[in-house]
Chains A and B, each alone.
Chain A
Amino acid sequence: MTARMDRKFEALKAEGRPALVTYFMGGDPDYDTSLEIMKALPAAGADVIELGAPFSDPMADGPAIQLAGQRALKAGHSLGKTIQMVRDFRKQDDTTPIVLMGYYNPIYIYGVEKFLDEALEAGLDGLIIVDLPAEMDDELCIPARKRDINFIRLTTPTTDAKRLPKVLDNSSGFVYYVSMTGITGSALPDTTKIADAVARIKASTDLPVCVGFGVKTAEHARLIGASADGVVVGTAIVNQVATSLDNNGHATADTVQSVVTFVSGLATGIRAARLVAAE
């Protein structure tokens, strides 16, 4: 429910630090390992979980996330199993918001109403669907909002002042600012430009603004967290999974631990963010 997301951002505001939003691919490299990763994220310092739903043709993603999706699909993952991960996770954690990130077609084929009902029941809080811009709100955004599931929209450097209100309209949960024109996993651009863009968006909305695409290190997280309400890290986490696998693409004893160690480092960066801002 929306409440989980709002409560989380209120608590972080009181704490005076930005959120660490962690993306990983559901089902990569297999269901059990990825569920273990998901369960370990909050303790490692993740405030919001972005659960990647694999798609065969991820047009907005770089090679790392495309390969992660292929590994998950090869291991038999599906949208139904992605919902099941939320359900399993909620057995131990009822406070960490979960946002499903993916593409529209698997949801369209599953059935929009059926998907939303099951996702809500499982404990999903929000959706980021890359290929559903504001013009397509009737497809999923409006039905999701009727159930109090957040629809989190991407805003980008190409979203100009004229277009921003249209993008923010019907947005909820938080606003995801894409730091660059490009795909996930590209190089991070100038952080002062990002800070300017975040300030522009914040002038138009009360929603928290999180920044993603290109954030790879604790230092990046610290710099961006100085101005944003949250920092999204995805490809770098997915890479931790990828490099820990054996030659057959199977999980090893290191897989979960390498993600935990990496996310803990990011969490340290995030917690130092506002110290920079205060300087």
Chain B
Amino acid sequence: MNDTPKPNSFRSGPDEDGRFGIFGGRFVAETLMPLILDLQEEWDKAKNDPEFQKQLADLGTHYVGRPSPLYFAERLTEHLGGAKIYFKREELNHTGSHKINNCIGQILLAKRMGKTRIIAETGAGQHGVASATVAARFGLPCIVYMGATDVERQAPNVFRMKLLGAEVKAVTAGSGTLKDAMNEALRDWVTNVDDTYYLIGTAAGPHPYPEMVRDLQAVIGREAREQILEAEGRLPDLVIAAVGGGSNAIGIFHPFLDDESVKIVGVEAGGHGLDGNEHCASITAGSPGVLHGNRTYLLQDGDGQILEGHSISAGLDYPGIGPEHSYLNDIGRVEYVPIMDDEALEAFQLLTRLEGIIPALEPSHAIAEVIKRAPKMGKDQIIVMNLSGRGDKDIFTVGKILGMGL
């Protein structure tokens, strides 16, 4: 596993075939091959086009609300009694999470490519809402595929998408969660190849999606790096983010990868524990396989059939992970650890009470890891954590578990 030679830079991937070490690639049906090759060509042009970058930056500032603040969590720091804790406040973005960073970039690309119809998949609904938002802003019809199970547990986001003019299609095939929504979106794309742009929400899927989504989310890490240097005059000792597919995590990690002094930790959903199948810890408890266009760590059985997984957080409820995370794990640059449902739930409540911030259940997993690590670190040490989304969408789920009627 660890015999991959260490590269000169951890930030050089993927190669021209879309590979990060053995991970990534382009495992798609022939019908989609010409489309993803075309997408790659257009993305290469766009990312080097100053006009595109200017549009992106302009919308980032005036529509999304960038830069997001880097906030010193004074009371949480005091409470834990160790390292200084900073939050990168991505939950303050328009639409309430980091997902909008990626959607703005991809909708601009879709427009450049002359596409007239947007499709997307969503788990927690944050990416669906962000997709519906940019589709409304740019006047394109948007179809969002969402597992039937998720439609039920994320009802407020379903309503938001509908208000924004998107059509939400509940997917009942398979287990009715994010992976099934992704299957269905791929089926739509393979059917409507001429006019449709597939707006993937996480740093996974066939090349060039993992690279493109990372590049669009890396604004989080670039800002955080500058902001911490300004606030503290030095780099943090630890950067932490929650990982489902892994777009918020790769976004904050990537600009720090070559800073040797910075330890980086990705937090996976441990669900009810790693012993059975009731978790979504693809790296900590899965194995490499091929799904949804890329090779990466997956939850699967001995026959290569994909397992359903479980997490309290719909956004982490995916049996895979972005291929770059798999690579960063195998070369030892990033450490991946699981956090259980109940730990995330406690962290959710603690942050709400101590800092007056209601976090989404996804970054609550990262907060739980901060709670474990900060007390063991010195008071002169610094943690930067990506607070990737706000928790308004989760209050019903949490209310139900805590037995509080809404």
Contact = CB atoms under 8 A, between A and B. Distances in A.
A158 B34 contact: yes
Contact of A132 (B27, B34, B35, B303): B27
A144 B193 CA distance: 31
Interface string B165-203: 000000001100001100100110011110000000000
A135 B306 CA distance: 24
Nearest to A167: B30
Contacts of A63: 173
Contacts of A56: 174, 305-306
Contact of A59 (B186, B295, B300): B186
Interface string B22-39: 000111111111110000
A109 B304 contact: yes
Contacts of A110: 303-304
Residue from the set A107, A133, A181, A183 with the largest chain B CB neighbour count within 10 Å: A133
Given A56-B305, A57-B179, A159-B34, A181 B291 contact: no
Given A109-B300, A131-B27, A183 B191 contact: yes
Residue from the set B35, B292, B300, B304 with the largest chain A CB neighbour count within 10 Å: B304
Interface string B275-303: 00000000000010111110100101011
A157 B191 CA distance: 11
B17 interface: yes
Contacts of B292: 57, 59
A130 B186 CA distance: 13
A57 B292 CA distance: 9
A106 interface: yes
A243 interface: no
A59 B174 contact: no
Contacts of A108: 289-290, 295, 304
B193 A57 contact: no
The binding surface of chain B is classed by DSSP as mixed
B303 A182 contact: no
Contacts of A178: 30-31
- Of the four ranges (under 10, 10 to 19, 20 to 34, 35 or more), the interface on chain B belongs to 35 or more
Interface stretch (A84-92, A118-126, A148-156): A148-156
A136 interface: yes
A276 B398 CA distance: 67
B179 A181 contact: no
A279 interface: no
A190 interface: no
Nearest to A132: B27
B364 to A, nearest CB: 28
Contacts of B290: 103-105, 108, 131
Contacts of A55: 304-305
A80 B17 CA distance: 31
A60 B33 contact: no
Contacts of B27: 104, 131-133, 136
Residue from the set A54, A70, A108 with the largest chain B CB neighbour count within 10 Å: A108
Given A158-B35, A158-B193, A79 B29 contact: no
Contact of A131 (B29, B173, B191, B300): B29
Nearest to B172: A63
Nearest to A80: B303
Given A136-B25, A167-B30, A73 B289 contact: no
A106 B304 contact: yes
A186 interface: yes
B28 A131 contact: yes
Contacts of A79: 303-304
Contact of B190 (A70, A134, A159, A181): A181
B33 A133 contact: yes
Residue from the set A58, A156, A159, A186 with the largest chain B CB neighbour count within 10 Å: A156
A78 interface: yes
Contacts of B32: 158
Residue from the set B192, B295, B303 with the largest chain A CB neighbour count within 10 Å: B303
Contacts of A133: 26-30, 33
Interface string B99-134: 000000000000000000000000000000000000
A105 B304 contact: yes
Contacts of B35: 158
A105 B306 contact: yes
B177 to A, nearest CB: 12
Contacts of B186: 59-60
A186 B188 CA distance: 12
A160 B38 CA distance: 12
Contact of B191 (A130, A134, A186): A186
A130 B293 CA distance: 11
A106 B291 CA distance: 10
A109 B29 contact: no
A121 to B, nearest CB: 20
A66 interface: yes
Given A57-B291, A66-B173, A108-B304, A153 B183 contact: no
A193 interface: no
B89 to A, nearest CB: 36
Given A66-B174, A133-B29, A135-B26, 9 more contacts: A55-B305, A59-B190, A105-B298, A108-B295, A131-B28, A131-B293, A136-B27, A158-B31, A181-B192
5 contacts: A59-B187, A105-B304, A132-B27, A158-B32, A183-B191
**4 shortest interchain CB distances as A-B pairs:** A109-B304, A106-B304, A182-B191, A156-B31
